[in-house]
A and B are shown apart, each in its own frame.
Chain A
Amino acid sequence: MRLIMVGHPNVGKSALFNRLTGARVVVSNYPGTTVEFTRGVMRLVGRRVEVLDFPGTYSLDSSCKAEEVVLAGLEEMAPDDVLLNVVDSTNLERNLGLTLQLLSLRRPMLVALNFWDEAQHTGVSIDAPALEQRLGVPCVPVVAVAGLGIRTLVERIRESRPSTYLLNGRCRWEAVGEIVREVQTLRHRHHTWRERLGDASLQPFTGAAIAVVVLGGSMAVVHWVGEGLIEGVCEPLFVRMWTPAVLWLSTHWGNEGWLHDVLIGTLTGGEINYGESFGLLTTGLYVPLAVILPYVFAFYSVLAVLEDSGYLPRLAVLADRLMHTVGLHGMGVIPMLLGMGCNVPGALSCRIMESERERFIASALLAIGVPCMAQTAMIVGLAGRYPLALPIIFGSLVIIWFALGLLMNRFLPGESPEILVDVPPYRRPRVRSLAKKVGMHLTWYLREAVPFVLLGVLLANLLYHLGVIAFAGRLAAPVVGGVLGLPAESVGGLLIGLLRKDLAVGMLAPLDLPFRQTVVACVVLVLYFPCVATLPVLLKELGSRQMLLAAAIMIGTALAAGGILNLALWATVG
C-alpha cells in the first residue's frame, strides 16, 4: 500500500507530508513549490507505508506539465494504494472540483481539510461530518503546520474507501455548489490589516512603493548581515584561532616545499594573506567559510522570509508587465531571485514556467546574467575598493540581462503565455520553517560547494605549476587582451571559473588589476559560462540542443559585452 497525496498547489501538501513522514521537505507560500514527486515513508500500525507527494494540480485535465505528471502517476496506482486529497478549507468550493474528479476514479480515498485554523479565523465554518456523508469518504480537519488533527487523519486512513458519489447528470460545478451550500457557512467579517496590506501590495502605486522598500530593504539587510558577520565573527576567528596554527605549520616545514605551496601557498613578508596566498588551508578555507558563507546565510535568511510570507506572487503580479518585455510572465521573477542565491535551484525552478520557450529564456537569462551569492560576495570584496566599480558592474549586468531578454523575446519563435496565478494571503513566517530552509541551504553549500572550492584551489595551483595557465594565457591573449583588455594572467581565473566562479574572482585579487580591468573581468566572469554545478542541471532541463544554443549566446554575450564595456570605460575613464 502507498499513500498518494493530491491537491491544489499551495494547500499545504508539503507541510502535511513533513508531518506524516518526519521528512524535511521545503514549504513555501507560493504556488508551484513542488514540481516533482516527493517520496517518503511513514509508519502505519507497525507497517512501513510509502508516501508520495504529487505536484500541486488544479484539475485532472492535463492542461499543464504538473497535471500530466499527476495523471501519469494516478494511472500507475496499485489497487491497494490510498489517495489522500489535501484541501484548502478556506477555498472549499474551488478545491472540491478536484475532489469530485478524484472521487470518480473510484479509488480508496480520504480528504484532509487543511488550513482549518485559517478557515476559522476568516469566518469560514465547514460541517466536516456532513461533508463526509456527502462525499462518502473520511474528511478530517487538520492544521498541517501546527500538527493538529494529524493523528486522527492517520488513524482514519484504514477507513478510506472508494466513494459511491454520483454526479447524476449534473455538471461537476453544479454538484460542487450544492455541496458547498449544504456544508459551509460564511460569516461576514471586516478585513484585517494583513489583508489590507496584502491588497495594497498589489496596487500599482502603493505596490511599487512597497516593492522598493521590500527589495531595497532585503538587499540592505543581506549586505549588512553579510559584512557584519565577516568583520565581526569570521575574520577575527580566522585571524585569532587559525593564523597561529598555519604559521606554526609553515615554520615547521621551513617555509618552503611543494606541500607548503599547496597547503599554505605564498606568504607575503612572513604573513598570511588570506585573499592571495592561495593554499588549501589559507585561501581555500578562508574564501568559502569567511567571505562567502556569511553572505549565503544572510541571503537565504532573507529569501526564506520573502518565500514564506507570500510576498513573491505579489512581486510577480507587479513585475508581470516588465517581465513580458523579456518574454516571461511575472512568475519569472522567482527563478531569478532563487538564482541570486545559487544558480542550481534557480535553474530547477524554471519549471514553474509553462512553455518551453519561457523555460529556455528564463534559464538563459538566469545562467548568463544572474550572479550567485558566492560570486556576488567575492565581487563585492574584490571591486568594492573602487567606489564606482560595484554600481557599474551590477548596472551593466542589469542592462545586459534586459537587452538579451528583449532580443530573445524578439527572435525566438512563439509567444509567452499570460500569468494566471493564485495570490495567497500574507502568512506569518514560522521560525521552524525558516530555520529548516536556511539550514538546508547552508548544509548544501558546505557539502557541495566547499569541496569544489578546495578542488579549485588545488587545480589552480597544479595548472599554474605545470605552466598550463601561462600557456593558455598566451593562446588566449589576442581575445582576452585584444577584445577585453585583460592581462594574460587573468586567463587562469577564466579557466577556474568553469569550476567555481567565486574562486575565479578570488584569483583576480593577487593580480591587483586596475579599475577598468577589474570591472570588465567581473562582468565577463558572470556572463561567459555556467559553473560546473549549474551546467548539468541546465543540460538536463534544456536538453543538449538548447544548451548548445544557450552556451553560444553566453560566450557571444560575454565577448560582446566585455568588449563594449572595455571600450566605453577606456573612452570615459581611461
Chain B
Amino acid sequence: MKPAHFLGLGNLPLGTRAKVSGVAGGHGVVRRLEAMGIRPGVIVEKISGQPFGGPVVVQVGRARVAVGFGMAQKVMVEPMIAEEPA
C-alpha cells in the first residue's frame, strides 16, 4: 500500500470519497464543522465544487453540506482511492 497522502477538502477530486484526518483551524471553525458532521474519522464524498474558489459540497452521512473554499481547505482528508498495482 502506498503511504497515505493528505490534501485539503477543496482539492479532493469530484466524486471521491475520503476520510477526514483533521481540521487545521481555530477552535471556532473546528466546532462549527464538527456540528455539521465534519470531524476527524468521518467519511466524506465530494459532490460538487464551484469554480474560482467557490464552495465545496460534500456528503456526510446522508446529509449534504456546503463549505466555503477557504474553510474546506482547512479540512485535511485522506482520499480512499482504489490503488493501482505498482
Contact = CB atoms under 8 A, between A and B. Distances in A.
A418 B68 contact: yes
Interface in B57-71: 57, 60-71
B63 A422 contact: yes
A425 B63 CA distance: 8
Q: Which 3 A-B pairs have the closest CB atoms?
A: A418-B68, A58-B35, A321-B54
B66 A421 contact: yes
A29 to B, nearest CB: 13
What size tier do the contact residues of chain A reach? 35 or more
Interface in B6-60: 28, 31-37, 39, 47-55, 57, 60
A317 B61 CA distance: 20
- Identify the interface centre among B60, B61, B64, B69: most chain A CB within 10 Å of its CB: B64
Contacts of B47: 199, 202
Interface stretch (A91-99, A139-147, A364-372): A91-99
B66 A317 contact: yes
Interface in A400-442: 417-423, 425
Nearest to B51: A204
Contacts of B64: 198-199, 202, 422-423, 425
A461 interface: no
A60 B50 CA distance: 31
A173 B33 CA distance: 13
A533 B61 CA distance: 44
A142 to B, nearest CB: 18
Contacts of B55: 317, 320-321, 330, 418-419
Nearest to A59: B35
Nearest to A200: B48
Nearest to A124: B62
B26 to A, nearest CB: 11
Contact of A423 (B28, B49, B53, B57): B57
A33 interface: no
A249 B28 CA distance: 69
Contacts of A59: 31, 34-35
Contact of B57 (A97, A122, A317): A317
Nearest to B63: A91
Given A204-B51, A321-B52, A422-B64, 6 more contacts: A61-B31, A204-B50, A317-B54, A330-B66, A417-B68, A420-B71
Interface in A104-150: 122, 124
A493 interface: no
Interface in A51-68: 58-59, 61, 63-64
A392 to B, nearest CB: 30
A318 interface: yes
10 contacts: A202-B47, A204-B50, A204-B51, A320-B54, A321-B53, A321-B55, A419-B55, A420-B36, A422-B64, A423-B65
B48 A422 contact: no
A207 interface: yes
A539 B58 CA distance: 38
A546 interface: no
- Identify the interface centre among A97, A198, A418, A419: most chain B CB within 10 Å of its CB: A418
A419 B67 contact: yes
A94 B61 contact: yes
B50 A316 contact: no
Given A320-B55, A418-B70, A420-B71, A93 B50 contact: no
A301 interface: no
Contacts of A422: 36, 63-66
A204 B71 CA distance: 19
A173 B50 CA distance: 30
A329 interface: yes
Contacts of A202: 47-48, 57, 64, 66
A420 B66 contact: yes
Contacts of A317: 48, 50, 54-55, 57, 66
A61 B34 CA distance: 11
A90 B54 CA distance: 27
B68 A207 contact: no
Contacts of B69: 418
B61 A63 contact: no
Contacts of A423: 57, 63-66
Given A94-B61, A202-B48, A61 B67 contact: no
A66 to B, nearest CB: 12
B37 A93 contact: yes
Interface in B62-86: 62-71
